[in-house]
Structure formats: C-alpha cells, structure tokens
Amino acid sequence: MTTTQNPPVRQSPRWGLAAAAGLGIAVAAVLAAYSRVHPGNGAAIWTFGFSALLAMKTWLTTGALVLVVVQIISALAMWGHLPGVSGSASWANPLHRWSGVAAFLLTLPVAFQCIWSLGFTDASARTLLHTVAGCLFYGVFAAKMLALRLRGLPGWAIPVLGGLLAALLTVVWFSSAFWYFTQPGVVLW
C-alpha cells in the first residue's frame, strides 16, 4: 500500500506584509503627531561644529544621500543586476549593510533636530512635503527592518521597501538640502 503525502500548504505572506505596513504607518504617524504637538522653537540643540542648524542638517542629509547611492549600487550587485558584476558579489552584502547603518545614523540627529527644534510645518508646499517625506522615511525604514526578519514575504517586498527608502530620502534631500544650497547668502559650513 502506497501512501501519498500532501505537500505543505504555503502560508500567504499577507500577515507579514500587514505587520510591516502596520509598523511603518504607526512609526510615521507617531513622528508626525509628536512633531505636530511640539512645534519647536527653532533653536539648535547641537550643530556638530557647523555654523548653524540648517547647515548641519544639510550636510548630514547630503552624506546620507551619498550613502543611499552606495546602497543602490550594492543592492544591484547583491541581486546580480549590476552591469559588469557576475552573480552576487561577495563585497555587496557587507557594503550594503554598513552603508545603510551609516546613512541611518547620519539621519538621526537631523530627524531629532527637525522634530524637536522645528516641529511639523506646513508653511509652504516645500516644507509640508519635507515633513511628510521625513516621517514616512522612518516609517518605511521600520517596515523594512521588520520585513528583513520575516519569512515567506514575496521576493519583491524588500527591494520595494529599499526603493521607497531611497526615494523618500531623495525627496527629503531635494526639499531641504538642495533648497538650502540654492539660497543666496547662506553659510554653507
């Protein structure tokens, strides 16, 4: 007598995706709510040797954006999509992880100063876009960090979250650092 064994039923990734999305939404909402009720007074808590709060935020965010370019290149290499690199390059994983850590660390004092010193602002379309993109950046970051630990998610989940992170930091940079660099008479350092 032959017995047949039913193949294991694969669980739908919907709960993992829902958990990651829920965490991301919660983080972004908490940051937005806190910065909304704490309007800030514009005073710098620290500037790390820069001449002004906005100069510090501009340069640290620019550094993070440069590291995001490293993130994109190393992600392409990890997935075997970087021209001239065959397969998954051994250098790509550690470079991706550590450039991501460094980029995230560069954004922390910027975010803290934004939330504590400046608060949520909708004084112009640029500042509203910047505020929303900044809150969403940390929400997507939290979602990606959770998604990295979850099993059974579709293969597109991590690259999409990584792409969203890169896109949101780019929006944050253009709505703040690029704007700052293009203002006449500002002290760049």
Of the pLDDT bands very low, low, confident and very high (cuts 50, 70, 90), residue 1 is low
Q: Does a structural domain hold residue 26?
A: no
Say what percent of the chain tops pLDDT 90: 61
pTM of the model: 0.87
Q: Is the pLDDT of residue 70 over 90?
A: yes
Q: Does a structural domain hold residue 23?
A: no
Q: Does a structural domain hold residue 125?
A: yes
Q: Does a structural domain hold residue 39?
A: yes
pLDDT tens digits for 44-58? 888 888 888 889 999
Q: Does a structural domain hold residue 104?
A: yes
Q: Does a structural domain hold residue 70?
A: yes
Range of the domain at 72: 35-181
Q: Does a structural domain hold residue 83?
A: yes
pLDDT tens digits for 73-124? 999 998 888 888 877 778 899 999 999 999 999 999 999 998 888 888 888 9
* Amino acid letter, 175: S
Q: What single string gives the DSSP state of each residue in 78-147?
A: HTT-STT--SS-TTHHHHHHHHHHHHHHHHHHHHHHIIIII----SSHHHHHHHHHHHHHHHHHHHHHHH
| Phi, psi of 187, deg, nearest 5 | -80, 120
Of 51, 36, 148, 153, nearest in space to 100 by CA: 148
Number of structural domains the chain divides into: 1
The number of CA neighbours under 13 Å toward the Cβ of 67 is: 21
Q: Does a structural domain hold residue 2?
A: no
